[in-house]
Structure 1
Amino acid sequence: MMLILFAALQATAPLSAAPPPAPRPADAAAPTPAERDCLAQARTDPVAAERLVQRVAGVTPRLRQCLGLALVGQQRFAEGAATFAAAAQAAELAHDAAAANYWAQSGNAWLAGGEAMKARGALDAALAAGTLTGLQRGEAHLDRARALVALGDAKAARTDLDQALVSADDDPLAWLLSATLARRSGDLDRARADIAQALRRSPDDASVQLEAGNIAARSGDAEAARTAWQAAVRLAPDAPAGRSAANALRQFDTPEAAK
């Protein structure tokens, strides 16, 4: 029982602390020169992009979006989230379908800043618009699931994760979070199936290997747990996932592990 108990205690990171996907630029009509320059700078020099927006007269929703990207690029997540929300509100007034994507970006930034309740509100607005499709819709469901887990609503999170797996099934994070939630809920068959999908898509992700070890431990397979945790340590020894895996591996050095 020691192996299973220790694994459960070590397994909180993937749902609560996994790095969020990068904010997604909106699909829209051809940008103006200022918008194009800003978007290019936001990727390479977010401080310069912020200054560019400050110099432009008549800030458009897309320039507000670019400012949000620049702020997030500086890890000023709350400011970025509020700026994306302002872009969404301006786009709604202009009857611009990109508003939903700006709301999704706002939710993503709130998540990065640890504000789950605000993230849920922004993502509710993004999905309620009904204009997100394909991968963008799937990623919005995935982000809302992450917010719901942080808020303690596992049932609603499962609904969003199942939606994300339909539209964003190539995203290993969706499978990782689904596997983690299934393990926490005691559905080990689902957990094993979903972590196998995450491993197929991202075998070099330490968080995926950590969770594979946690699921194996909960299933009573000590050798598979050891192998997965060792992989997590090898891949990212100084990252939270690698450190958690290293802590989990220490139980194999105890007298109880030999019994």
Structure 2
Amino acid sequence: MLMMLIAAEASCLDEVRADPVRAAQIAGAWHLKGGGVLARQCLAFAYLAQQRWPSAATAFEQAAREAAAGRDEAVAANLWVQAGNARLAGGEYAAARLALDKALSAPDLTGMARGEARLDRARANVGLNALAEARTDLDEALKLAPDDPLAWLLSATLARRMGDLDRARADIAAAGTRAPDDAMVALEAGQIALAAGAPAAARLAFEAAIKAQPGSDAAGMAQAALDRLAPAGQPEAP
């Protein structure tokens, strides 16, 4: 029976990659035939592939409730995390925080997975402008997932927004150690330098962002920031 379920899930995920619209139809039919949690999860992946964020989140939430009803709390917690990420992708920050609250209420979510969920909830809290709550979540995420450069990047960005430039500089340095060629890290280093009144250092960081990942969104933002700076060698506007 287990092998049949694994084969059915693999077949559906293959279909997601090939034709997500058809995959959604397959997953729906699979669930009606008793596919349970795996069918709902596959349906959610099909919606994700179509960038139908609310539909994906709803499917993940339904799968999480079904898993919890079957007393598979560890699976339910992970599904709530996936639901929260789908809500984040759709800009539904309050719904994302609610889903992530449910995930984090499960003792089965531990270690790095718990750290990543705290990171995700921090993102939701930032979206809701609940910066103090985001700071608490990020501090915990850094303890549980200390090797994740995104956690350090977001911590640095939050510190800058909260006016703690010493913390921002320390955290962006930690992010740079873990992801030395990441354009978003270089971009944030430039923003922190600007906030600290160091335009020359900011220029170097923005140029590094463009060089690291030319054509990326981060490179575009870095170029826009450079365009707002005075040309090299000229004094900045007061």
Q: Normalised by the size of structure 2, how large is the TM-score?
A: 0.89
**The one of 201, 212, 219 aligned to 1:242:** 219
With over 3 angstroms needed to count, the CA separation of the structure-2 counterparts of 1:46 and 1:153, relative to structure 1, is same
Aligned equivalents of 1:217, 1:32: Cα separation in 2 = 52
> Is 1:60–2:39 an aligned residue pair?
no
Instruction: Tell me which amino acid in the other structure corresponds to 1:53.
Output: A
Aligned equivalents of 1:241, 1:126: Cα separation in 2 = 31
Q: Which residue does the alignment assign to 1:72? A: 48
Instruction: Tell me which amino acid in the other structure corresponds to 2:230.
Output: F
**The one of 226, 230, 233 aligned to 1:252:** 230
**The one of 185, 190, 200 aligned to 1:223:** 200
Instruction: Tell me which amino acid in the other structure corresponds to 2:123.
Output: R
SS in 2 for 1:32: helix
User: C-alpha deviations, 1:43-64, integer Å up to 9, x for none?
Assistant: 5653443233133211311221
Instruction: Tell me which amino acid in the other structure corresponds to 2:72.
Output: D
Identity within the alignment, %: 52
Aligned equivalents of 2:237, 2:125: Cα separation in 1 = 40
Q: Which residue does the alignment assign to 2:6? A: 32
The count of aligned residue pairs is 231
With over 3 angstroms needed to count, the CA separation of the structure-2 counterparts of 1:116 and 1:227, relative to structure 1, is same
Aligned equivalents of 1:203, 1:256: Cα separation in 2 = 30
Aligned equivalents of 1:102, 1:42: Cα separation in 2 = 18
Q: Judge which range, 140-149 or 159-168, deviates more.
A: 159-168
With over 3 angstroms needed to count, the CA separation of the structure-2 counterparts of 1:32 and 1:111, relative to structure 1, is same
Q: Judge which range, 81-90 or 164-173, deviates more.
A: 164-173
Aligned equivalents of 2:7, 2:62: Cα separation in 1 = 21
> Is 1:160–2:134 an aligned residue pair?
no
Deviation at 1:195, TM superposition (A): 0.4
SS in 2 for 1:129: coil
User: C-alpha deviations, 1:122-166, integer Å up to 9, x for none?
Assistant: 001110122111221111101100000010100000000011111
Aligned equivalents of 1:40, 1:163: Cα separation in 2 = 36
Aligned equivalents of 1:45, 1:199: Cα separation in 2 = 38
**The one of 20, 44, 68 aligned to 1:46:** 20
SS in 1 for 2:102: helix
SS in 1 for 2:62: helix
> Which aligned pairs between 1:1-150 and structure 2 lie closer than 5 A?
31-43=5-17, 45-56=19-30, 57-97=33-73, 98-150=75-127
Aligned equivalents of 2:141, 2:15: Cα separation in 1 = 31
Instruction: Tell me which amino acid in the other structure corresponds to 1:75.
Output: Q
SS in 1 for 2:34: coil
Deviation at 1:252, TM superposition (A): 2.0
Aligned equivalents of 1:199, 1:44: Cα separation in 2 = 37
Q: Which residue does the alignment assign to 1:5? A: none
Aligned equivalents of 2:18, 2:24: Cα separation in 1 = 12
Higher relative contact order (CA 8 A, sep 6+): 1
Preserved contact between residue 28 and residue 39 of structure 2 (Cα < 8 Å): no
SS in 1 for 2:230: helix
Aligned equivalents of 2:90, 2:106: Cα separation in 1 = 24
Q: Judge which range, 146-155 or 188-197, deviates more.
A: 188-197
Q: Judge which range, 110-119 or 58-67, deviates more.
A: 58-67
Q: Which residue does the alignment assign to 1:15? A: none
Aligned equivalents of 2:101, 2:28: Cα separation in 1 = 30
User: C-alpha deviations, 1:74-126, integer Å up to 9, x for none?
Assistant: 21111100000000111111111210111110000000111111101100111
Aligned equivalents of 1:170, 1:45: Cα separation in 2 = 35
